[in-house]
Amino acid sequence: MPQVGIVLVSHSARLAEGAADLAAQVGGGTVTVLAAGGTDDGGLGTSADKVARALHSAEAGAGVLVLPDLGSAVLTVRALLADLTGASVVLADAPFVEGAVAATVTAAAGANLTAVAEAAEEAWHARKL
């Protein structure tokens, strides 16, 4: 059964890779969690090409959830989504790390794209103290 894929879009490649690694491990390694961080030349920023490649690679038939970190990452994803046709991609308004973990655990349980997005966005309410 296909699972929802997850793409983490950050201004920092290391931040995206670290969050993807954490989420993938918590999800038991069963969910595709891909990092799309930094610019093409390794600097801070976002790369539409990296995001597009990650979206394509994460799609396994159940859709893709995208979690961005900051403002221009959101703009980059929105611009890409405006040009996509027929793709089942949801942009979540969620905390980056907590949302990634919640989404991955939910996807690992076999939930659909709507439920995975809701889990990510519900992470805003997860208290630490």
Catalytic residue among 9, 11, 77, 101: 11
Task: Identify the helix (H) or strand (E) that includes residue 102.
Answer: helix 96-108
**Least confident piece of the model among 51-60, 63-72, 76-85:** 76-85
Using the predicted structure, report yes or no on whether residue 71 has a pLDDT greater than 90: no
Region of residue 45 (phi > 0: left; psi between -120 and 50: alpha; otherwise: beta): left
Ordered by start, the domain boundaries in the chain are 5-125
Task: Identify the helix (H) or strand (E) that includes residue 67.
Answer: strand 64-68
The reported pTM is 0.95
Q: Is 11 a catalytic residue?
A: yes
Q: Which CATH superfamily is 5-125 part of?
A: Phosphotransferase system, mannose-type IIA component (3.40.50.510)
Using the predicted structure, report yes or no on whether residue 127 has a pLDDT greater than 90: no
Mean pLDDT of 96-125: 97
